[in-house]
Structure 1
Amino acid sequence: MAHGSPPVVDDRVPLAEAHGAPHKPYVSPEQSPAELTLRGLVLGSVLGIVFAASSVYLAIKVGLTVSASIPVAVLSIAIFRALGRSSILENTIVQTTGSAGESLAFGVAAALPALLILGYDISLTHAFLTAALGGVLGVLMMIPLRQGLIVQEHGKLTYPEGTASADVLIVGEQGGTNARTVILGFIIGGVYKFAYSGMKLFKEAIGTPIKGLKAATLSTEVSPELLGVGYIIGPRVASITFAGGVLSYLILIPMVSFFGSGMETPLLVHNGMLIRDMSPDQIRNAYVLYIGAGAVATGGLISLIRSLPTIVGAFKRSVETLRQSRTQGALPTVLRTDQDLPITVVLVGSALLILAIWLAPPLHVNFISAILIVVFGFFFVTVSARITGEIGSSSNPISGMVVATLLVTCLVYLLFGWTSSPDRFMALTTAAIVGIAASNGGTTAQDLKTAFLVGGTPRKQQIALFVGVLTSAMFIGLVLVLLNQGATAVIPEAHPGVQVTEMSTDTRTQHTYRWAVSQDALTQRGMTPAQLKRSLWAERLDMVPADGALELRSWRPIPAQELSNLTLAPANGPSLKLSDAGLVTAGPDRVYKEGFVRGADTPVPAGRYLVDDQGSIQYVVDPGIGGRISEYEGQTLTRYSAPKAQLFALIIDGILTQRLPWDLVLLGVFIALMLELCGVSSLPFAVGVYLPISSSAPIFVGGMVRHFVDKLRGGSAAESEFSPGTLMSSGYIAGGSIAGVLIAFLEIASDGAWTRAINLPALFGHENAVGAFLNAVGESELAHPTWSNVWGLAFFAVLTAVLFRSALKGKSGAEAPPPSH
């Protein structure tokens, strides 16, 4: 790139600038050190699963992932060094196997949560098949392209991330690495995340309204993983993303509130709420998200259009080099470093893939969609592999490719009249498989470049890629389901006269308990009905009046004696043991049927609902990913915004139902165009508009830390990508994300009992000094609005200071010690 830097998109973060690569492999073809070993495949698979889980967490939270190649390579060298000795080629296999998980995670976590928004559930089988088939498709199509793109184009295609990984492996072979920094970051990030998300020692998000500007708020999450992301992506992209959040929360939301506060009728929302009655988050969900979606879609398409000359040229050159490499005939002796899997594997595998995509029942893909997957998959894998070679994974417009696939697929469906709910499911599956294939194709090309530089055997590396794809695919869907179910909430929500559009065979049992006390009696004890409902909901109990008494409801079975001994500690009121106020006895169980609302002909939002025997909706099962209810009875619910999934659902629903609010979408379109005319990359900015400002703020802080470290420390751009700051940030990301997954598992495994048991403010109560302090500064309804913010900000400042000091004073992983004799 002769003129300026390439456009930055947010699907991947950059790892290294392109720099010269040796023309001779580090390990000569005549040498045959240990390479494809069982322990290498096992270690690579385990690390791939860990970083895939981390990538899933990031993708549903902020819509991006961080490359796992360098952290996996560093950890592989350190672990094998602790176990004895390993070869550079064995470490290359570990790095290759481990990096496959991250490339799958982005496609799966960016697309499949859209099913929840469209009124479906995420199936483990569907998630596994989508990830596995898309990943295998990406690897298969890269096998015949390797000779042309990696070998014949060497010196022209630099593959910056692959080259950086090769540098790390070579330095590690010579005795250098700093795995302790990654491990320390992992421990700090994990413990820190567990302290606030599990133990509730301080608030997850701190913020305040802006006085003098109606509906304006400023907040930040005290998140280790988002701080690490900001450091890795650097100050420019972090600042652009945060600027989008400023536009959303300090300009657009206050403007909607200011101009709409005098309206006597709802503007776009069909739930009867007036703008003046909406909170800032409700205004964002009802109006600003559509503006952000228009900007994100435009930014993705602009990055794709900007790459069109590269795409067309890449495709033509790739086909030509493939043809030339296959017409030269087989050499009498094939060097070890030139041995690919045979072309028959590609041909037979591709045929089997087509049949599997078409015939697999969980995918619900018809023949035309299977053809679209093959056509788009072949094209975008080829394009993705070449673009990553020319300008790196950071500028590879995967989102634009998925959006383009979705738009064409939905338009084809519209022409055929396929606009039903199952057709939307099929359209999303089609785009998801293509996106996973394209993402994995680019990552596979980087891995093949790494092996080319260090002297690996392509055939063995391709086998490792298949292993990495299949092992990671087995767990990616599970992580997605865990995170969603761990944050799913069953909220009372009646819709009289509205029926669900599709019933399922699943049911949920509700356990009831009669509490022989009236609300008047509780009021005399100093407890209002609102305080009581809040306190009971904190224990996962709902309450309704029933025949002069109260009925308590729970979705988990609780012995009546255990419930009688439950002590409530409401805010600003006395504690109350249930049995002291009235007898608690077990009542009859109720069974609700699960049903789904889908389609355009209903006023009820798409989603999963519980209905009674008469078919009336009584509860909404609001998902943790993309859920629309963020607070209930004073309790903040954990929600993952999944910005890419929201966009994909919006495209599918908007085109096939033809009910998109184009006024707001077009505002986002022109905001993106304005930024491009100003020379600013619109996609990171648009993602900032789409994200809560609490998510983009810690990213901005991490970017600023990187800015000052780079100014003070100096060094080349390539060296800085495996500097101690980047390694510590990788540890923060992995540790914080894995802790989040672990907390979700604890929530599901015990139906919330284990997470309540480690909730220290609730455990200590507020009637003693320690408990009063924890409730005042921790995640509690009793939290002091000022001191809890100061307390959380202090912890975040310490976390930031540790990153800054490590980045500034630590030893670079690129520095190899002199060889010992």
Structure 2
Amino acid sequence: MSNSKKKFTPFVSAEDDLPQITFKAVVLGILLSAILAGANAYLGLKVGMTVSASIPAAVISMAVLRLFKHSNILENNIVQTAASAGESLAAGVIFTLPALILLRYWVDFPFLDTMAIAMLGGVLGVLFTIPLRRALIIEQDLKFPEGVATGEVLKAGTEGGQGIKQIAWAGLAGALFKLGQTGLKVFSGAASGSVTVGRSIFGLGTELSVALLGVGYIVGLNIAVLVFAGGLISWLFGIPLYMAFTDPAEVSAVVGEASGYSAALEIWSQKIRYMGVGAMVVGGIWALISLAKPLKDGIQSSWKTVQKIRSGEEDTRLRTERDMPINYVLWGVAGLALPIFLVFTQVIDTSHLPVSSGLYWSTMAIGMLFSLIAGFLFASVAGYMAGLVGSSNNPISGVTIATILATSLILLVLLGSQLEFSADTERAQAAAAAAIVVGAMVACAAAIAGDNMQDLKAGQLVGSTPYKQQIMQIIGVVAAALVIAPILSLLFNAYGMGGVFPREGMNPDEMLSAPQATLMQSVAEGVFARNLEWNMIWIGSAIAVAIIILDKFLEKRGTDFQTPVLAVAVGIYLPLELTVPIFVGGMIAWFAGRVVAKRAKEAGKDPEKAKTKAENNGLLFSSGLITGEALIGIVLAIPFAIQESTDALRIVPESFTPYANWLGGLAAVFFIIWLYKVAVKK
């Protein structure tokens, strides 16, 4: 990863100012933001993951805007910018606020409270990305795989020709494969196995995801290896060592009736995963230290521009470099402080937290200040991680856990003299709920920041005007915030969440598991019950420190291979299944580059130009794979919600599963070979 600026030419030059924020673009952006928020709310509550919506929104936008006589690529980009805000805001909300239901603090999702938390957190995330754009996209020159893919899709859609054909074929194939996996159940979506050695289980699994394969190709071998290495730390060392040196009775209490790979997964989920949290906290702090100078330079540059304009001087910046003025950002953040404070007092009122008046108001004020400070810090971390591994693989839940953990510890110190979890359930419940609300505010800001940085990267590639994108991001946030509360209420009353049902007699098989919210609840309660996995958190922190030392050593040696700590931390925290296809994609990119470079050298041609050509071929194909899988992921949410089952489109019986495993594996191998062939094509 290079920290030097790369000179490039955007698709639309800075001198050409095409229409961007038009009436039809705003209406379409609002509608898509609301729709994608609902679709991803369901998927996230059901399986714990959301689908990045930038590319689906871009494709839908291109299809709709073609119906109008006049439209352009920048208008398309503006639509996907607003629309993708709905997906990212939904992630921030569903990973946190359902925990209030699980705590039995809420009995439903009140409209005003839910809408206000989502909207305020989301707008904070947009404001925080404004100074981050220059620091992360221009100064750091990170990959932003989904942002690059979105930009390539938009450009190919405008240019037509071979590029759009390549994306279209890959997208169609990826969509059909995803339909066969998640919808029809003809192909398996994952493969896993395990080996037991003594008391330890060594598990290995992989998602059969062509989108993750494409992400791995885009981020390249360096980051792909680090993410996979993080997964191996958890699964090759963490789980087996825990099982070998922990009392068998304690291990049995964790795994229950599970065995083999399922037992390893339980240990990872309940124990080892917290190593990733510790690593991300240390990695996040280090990332902030690394970003301090570019952030400072960016803010100073923006402030100087504001002062020049105020003094009557002409703004000489190119259109493609104009962000929302930094004074607007500062006033906006300051203006949100009071509404955030009022929301906290509305959700956590004195009847639920019966402490002294002075302690109550000071607690609410600290919650508000911590939301602003942590919101900016973790928005920076989320943006950085999105640049490394993409927004689909951005572990927002890990960032949120760190926030809830810190908030809970602060509340424990503040309220410790008046709160004992075992003796006073009501006060402890309110304190845990307060930590969740702060976490929700920060999660929304971080989720929006990570996704919006992808949009701004796409905008940089196509030649968009940053401040116009930032305006549309706010519009998208507001649209999604207005619909998220009724959607969550509808889903809760239709299915139930995390073991909590609104009425008796409901089918537990159709319940939305809300896995991330369940994790947030356990962290908040664990602090007050004093039974959190601190040992794992400290081990993860120590691993992160060791990786930082290694990275500085490699940097001093001047090696091309670097070890940015957050890439490894993401791998430790994410399920191993997600890191394997990313690693394979990175390996394909490396092998293809070597093959075409060798071939060019033998033919007396420039190897670097040949490698660039291979990268572009693979990039377009990878963008198509990501597009196809993402589109189908969104579309399938509709029949799943209508039929109240993820088996709504199943065409094969459960007994077909062994054959589905073989078919899924063979299809994945086919896509691996296909991507390699495209990349090395002459």
Q: TM-score, normalised by structure 1?
A: 0.61
Question: 1:374 matched to which residue of 2?
Answer: 372
Question: 2:250 matched to which residue of 1?
Answer: 267
Q: Residues 511-547 of structure 1: CA distance to partner in whole angstroms, max 9, x if unpaired?
A: xxxxxxxxxxxxxxxxxxxxxxxxxxxxxxxxxxxxx
The separation in 2 between residues aligned to 1:18 and 1:429, in whole angstroms, is 39
- Quote the offset at 1:67 in angstroms: 6.5
- Quote the offset at 1:408 in angstroms: 3.8
Q: Residues 264-312 of structure 1: CA distance to partner in whole angstroms, max 9, x if unpaired?
A: x7226668x88xx752456446644455333212221232232343344
In the TM superposition, 1:408-419 aligns within 5 A as 408-417=406-415
- Quote the offset at 1:226 in angstroms: 4.0
CA contact (8 A) 2:211 2:622 kept: no
Q: Is 1:796 aligned to 2:661, yes or no?
A: no
Alignment partner of 2:526 out of 641, 654, 675: 654
Greater relative contact order, per chain length (Cα 8 Å cut-off, separation 6+)? 2
Question: 1:297 matched to which residue of 2?
Answer: 277
- Quote the offset at 1:413 in angstroms: 0.7
Question: 2:472 matched to which residue of 1?
Answer: 464
In the TM superposition, 1:215-294 aligns within 5 A as 215-249=201-235, 251-255=237-241, 257=243, 266-267=249-250, 279-280=259-260, 283-284=263-264, 287-289=267-269, 291-294=271-274
- Quote the offset at 1:203 in angstroms: 3.8
Q: Is 1:760 aligned to 2:656, yes or no?
A: no
RMSD, aligned α-carbons: 5.3
Question: 1:728 matched to which residue of 2?
Answer: 624
The separation in 1 between residues aligned to 2:541 and 2:182, in whole angstroms, is 36
The separation in 2 between residues aligned to 1:477 and 1:718, in whole angstroms, is 46
Alignment partner of 2:109 out of 118, 123, 140: 123
Q: 1:54 to 1:675 in 2, by over 3 A?
A: farther
The separation in 1 between residues aligned to 2:220 and 2:44, in whole angstroms, is 18
CA contact (8 A) 1:181 1:727 kept: no
The separation in 1 between residues aligned to 2:261 and 2:227, in whole angstroms, is 19
The separation in 2 between residues aligned to 1:692 and 1:226, in whole angstroms, is 13
AA aligned to 1:19 is K
AA aligned to 2:437 is T
In the TM superposition, 1:75-474 aligns within 5 A as 76=61, 80=65, 83-101=68-86, 103-105=88-90, 107-108=92-93, 110-112=95-97, 123=109, 125=111, 128-140=115-127, 178-210=163-195, 215-249=201-235, 251-255=237-241, 257=243, 266-267=249-250, 279-280=259-260, 283-284=263-264, 287-289=267-269, 291-314=271-294, 316-318=296-298, 320-328=300-308, 329-331=310-312, 337=319, 347=331, 350-351=334-335, 354-355=338-339, 358-359=342-343, 363-364=347-348, 366-377=364-375, 402=400, 405-417=403-415, 420-441=428-449, 460-474=468-482
Query: How many equivalent pairs are there?
Result: 624
The separation in 2 between residues aligned to 1:244 and 1:450, in whole angstroms, is 28
The separation in 1 between residues aligned to 2:461 and 2:578, in whole angstroms, is 38
Q: 1:5 to 1:692 in 2, by over 3 A?
A: same
AA aligned to 2:124 is L
The separation in 2 between residues aligned to 1:304 and 1:106, in whole angstroms, is 20
List gaps (5 residues or longer) in structure 1. Answer: 7-16, 492-502, 511-554, 556-618, 627-641, 763-774, 811-821
- Quote the offset at 1:719 in angstroms: 5.9
AA aligned to 1:465 is Q
AA aligned to 1:440 is I
- Quote the offset at 1:689 in angstroms: 4.6
- Quote the offset at 1:622 in angstroms: 6.5
In the TM superposition, 1:702-721 aligns within 5 A as 702-712=585-595, 714-716=610-612, 720=616
Q: Residues 231-290 of structure 1: CA distance to partner in whole angstroms, max 9, x if unpaired?
A: 444444444444444454555545555566xx6x7226668x88xx75245644664445
CA contact (8 A) 1:209 1:215 kept: yes
CA contact (8 A) 1:242 1:699 kept: yes
List gaps (5 residues or longer) in structure 2. Answer: 350-363, 420-427, 552-562, 597-609
Q: 1:124 to 1:688 in 2, by over 3 A?
A: farther
Q: 1:41 to 1:622 in 2, by over 3 A?
A: closer
Q: 1:26 to 1:171 in 2, by over 3 A?
A: farther
CA contact (8 A) 1:52 1:102 kept: yes
- Quote the offset at 1:36 in angstroms: 1.7
Q: 1:113 to 1:179 in 2, by over 3 A?
A: farther
**Matched position secondary structure for 1:303:** helix
Question: 2:353 matched to which residue of 1?
Answer: none
The separation in 1 between residues aligned to 2:44 and 2:365, in whole angstroms, is 30
CA contact (8 A) 1:403 1:648 kept: yes
The separation in 2 between residues aligned to 1:662 and 1:342, in whole angstroms, is 40
Structure showing the higher helix proportion among its residues: 2
**Matched position secondary structure for 1:210:** strand
Q: 1:351 to 1:651 in 2, by over 3 A?
A: same
The separation in 2 between residues aligned to 1:759 and 1:392, in whole angstroms, is 32
**Matched position secondary structure for 2:6:** coil
CA contact (8 A) 2:238 2:272 kept: no
The separation in 2 between residues aligned to 1:241 and 1:357, in whole angstroms, is 38
Q: 1:715 to 1:139 in 2, by over 3 A?
A: same
Q: 1:168 to 1:425 in 2, by over 3 A?
A: same
**Matched position secondary structure for 1:509:** coil
**Matched position secondary structure for 2:505:** strand
The separation in 2 between residues aligned to 1:451 and 1:259, in whole angstroms, is 51
Q: 1:88 to 1:436 in 2, by over 3 A?
A: same
AA aligned to 2:435 is A
AA aligned to 2:186 is L
Q: TM-score, normalised by structure 2?
A: 0.71
Compare 93-102 and 722-731 and name the one that shifted more: 93-102
CA contact (8 A) 1:486 1:745 kept: no
The separation in 1 between residues aligned to 2:82 and 2:228, in whole angstroms, is 34
Question: 2:634 matched to which residue of 1?
Answer: 738
Structure showing the higher strand proportion among its residues: 1
